[in-house]
């Protein structure tokens, strides 16, 4: 069995109504996505452009595709026309090219700023100071085809749940600061929490959780 429908139903039953489950389907076959789709699910997340584009081309058109992985600017054109929400905008280069490709596709793209909240250097993202700088109206005017709708973060890879919770709490306070700058009507998405820590993310106010292995089983690859 490639997808655990029971785990899916259990998770949906405990999720607050205002929260969105992004089912992370990376490395999963189309059939696994179709099973979850048949159960009524529409939000799916992928972390590699090639895989995102080839799945979107053949799967139902009402799926909302979330780009959650590290973005190479030369691949943005492949998902700009259809992506629902880009979670992983982690540097200004990406903003620049996303703006160009959104204009080219004649649409507005909703994006999240990825914030570096983990202790590892390897995790991508803007610093909290950079995020607040980007949430200034004069800066946003440079990106007329992009709409910053929230923040995304990944906690440290650790067994220390107190540390994970502190990192989510930090992101949540930055989210509230961004709301103060741009308004609660615009900043509505706080994307944090994965299979191992989504409960902590929800407790800290996260409203988009990105869950893969809990639904689809362990992956062979990251």
Rounded to the nearest angstrom, the gap between the alpha carbon of residue 47 and the centroid of all alpha carbons in its chain is 9
For residues 145 and 217, which CB has a smaller minimum distance to ligand PLP in the complex? 217
Residues with Cβ within 8 Å of 86's Cβ and at least 6 positions away in sequence, in order, are 66, 67, 71, 79, 98, 109, 110, 111, 112
The closest residue (CB) to ligand PLP is 212
CB 86 → ligand PLP: shortest distance, Å? Answer: 12
CB 61 → ligand PLP: shortest distance, Å? Answer: 24
For residues 175 and 198, which CB has a smaller minimum distance to ligand PLP in the complex? 198
Whole-Å CA distances, 56 to 12, 38, 47, 60, 217: 24, 16, 13, 8, 22
CB 79 → ligand PLP: shortest distance, Å? Answer: 15
CB distance 94 to 85 below 8 Å: no
For residues 44 and 143, which CB has a smaller minimum distance to ligand PLP in the complex? 44
CB 128 → ligand PLP: shortest distance, Å? Answer: 19
CB distance 124 to 116 below 8 Å: yes
Other residues' Cβ atoms within 10 Å of the Cβ of residue 2: 14
CB 216 → ligand PLP: shortest distance, Å? Answer: 8
CB 154 → ligand PLP: shortest distance, Å? Answer: 6
Q: Secondary structure of the chain: what % helix, strand, coil (to 5)?
A: 40, 20, 40
Whole-Å CA distances, 8 to 21, 24, 32, 211: 10, 12, 12, 10
For residues 88 and 179, which CB has a smaller minimum distance to ligand PLP in the complex? 88
For residues 138 and 221, which CB has a smaller minimum distance to ligand PLP in the complex? 221
Question: Residues interacting with ligand PLP, by CB under 6 A?
Answer: 24, 26, 47, 68-69, 154, 194-196, 210-214
For residues 206 and 212, which CB has a smaller minimum distance to ligand PLP in the complex? 212
């Amino acid at each position: 069995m490639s997808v655990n429908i029971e785990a899916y139903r259990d998770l949906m039953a405990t999720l607050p109504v205002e929260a969105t489950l992004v089912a992370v389907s990376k490395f999963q076959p189309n059939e696994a996505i179709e099973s979850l789709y048949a159960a009524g699910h529409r939000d799916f997340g992928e972390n590699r452009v090639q895989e995102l584009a080839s799945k979107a081309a053949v799967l139902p058109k009402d799926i909302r595709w979330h780009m959650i992985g590290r973005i190479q600017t030369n691949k943005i054109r492949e998902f700009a026309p259809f992506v629902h929400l880009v979670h992983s905008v982690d540097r200004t280069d990406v903003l620049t090219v996303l703006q160009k490709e959104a204009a080219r596709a004649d649409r507005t793209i909703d994006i999240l700023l990825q914030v570096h909240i983990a202790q590892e250097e390897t995790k991508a993202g803007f610093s909290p100071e950079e995020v607040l700088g980007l949430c200034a109206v004069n800066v946003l005017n440079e990106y007329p085809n992009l709409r910053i709708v929230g923040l995304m973060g990944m906690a440290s890879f650790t067994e220390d749940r107190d540390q994970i919770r502190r990192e989510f709490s930090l992101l949540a306070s930055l989210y509230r600061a961004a709301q103060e700058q741009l308004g609660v009507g615009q900043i509505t998405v706080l994307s944090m929490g994965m299979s191992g820590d989504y409960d902590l993310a929800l407790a800290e106010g996260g409203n988009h959780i990105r869950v893969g292995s809990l639904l689809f089983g362990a992956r062979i690859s990251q």
